[in-house]
Structure 1
């Protein structure tokens, strides 16, 4: 049962995380719950990679293990930013965390698409493309100084969320 949870839980956690990020950008969630969510993500990422290390040693799973490993300090950056910044919405560390997670899965989604056959490959290429398009939109809006609840930043996060959700749900169903 525990193995099955590790295999399928990300299919629910990924869209939940992006939905929560969008809600935070819209001001629907206060900074404290966002901090708690980061602390939970920190713990889950470390636990997941530790418990799944041997299972993720080759092929596309190795690529995803690298995403998780790189994602741990990226998530910790957001946690620190939420703890120390007087205004987390303008914290460089929080921005690094959000932008990092918009970009980190893109190469692994593309690689998964390349390694998968037929429809599964196309699904992962589409997921990578959506994620990258969202990341570019979000970063462009951030660089332009758009406020957190701007339509371009929200649309960017939505594209990333949909792309990454498509990729992880495909993986949970297919593997």
Structure 2
């Protein structure tokens, strides 16, 4: 049962995380719940990679293990940024976390598509393209200084969320 949870839980956690991120950008969620969510993600990522290390030693799962490994310090950057919220150093740390997670899965989605056949290939390529398009929109809007709740930033996050959700749901269902 525990193995099955590790295999399927990300299909629910990924869209939940992006929905929460969008809600925070819209000002619907305060900093404290976002900090708590980051702390939970820190623990879940470390636990997941530790418990799944040998299962993720080869093939496309190895690429995803790397995403999680790099994602741990990326998430920790957001956690630290939220802990020191109000400090001028907090904004770059939080931005690093959001931007990092918009981009980290893109190469792994593309690689998964390249290593897959048939529908799985098309699904993963589409997921990678949506995620990359969303990341570009978000980073572009961030670079020009648009407000967090601005439509283009939200649209970018939504595309990332849809792309990454498509990829993880396909993996949970297919494999």
Q: CA deviation digits over 1:38-72, x for unaligned, max 9?
A: 00000000000000000000000000000000000
Report whether the alignment pairs 1:40 with 2:75.
no
Deviations 1:97-151 (A, max 9, x none): 0000000000000000000001100000000000000000000000000000000
Matches within 5 A, 1:40-79: 40-79=40-79
What displacement does 1:85 show? Answer: 2.6
The equivalent residue for 1:25 is: 25
- Tell me, in whole angstroms, the C-alpha distance in 2 between the residues paired with 1:169 and 1:85: 33
Give the length in aligned residue pairs. Answer: 174
Shift of residue 87, structure 1, vs aligned partner = 6.3
Structure 2 CA distance for aligned equivalents of residues 61 and 143 of structure 1: 33
Coordinate RMSD, CA, aligned: 1.0
Is 1:16 equivalent to 2:20 in the alignment? Answer: no
CA distance in 2, matches of 1:34, 1:167: 24
Ranges in structure 2 where 5+ consecutive residues have no aligned partner: none
Matches within 5 A, 1:9-158: 9-86=9-86, 91-158=91-158
Which structure 1 residue ranges, 4+ long, deviate > 3 Å from structure 2? none
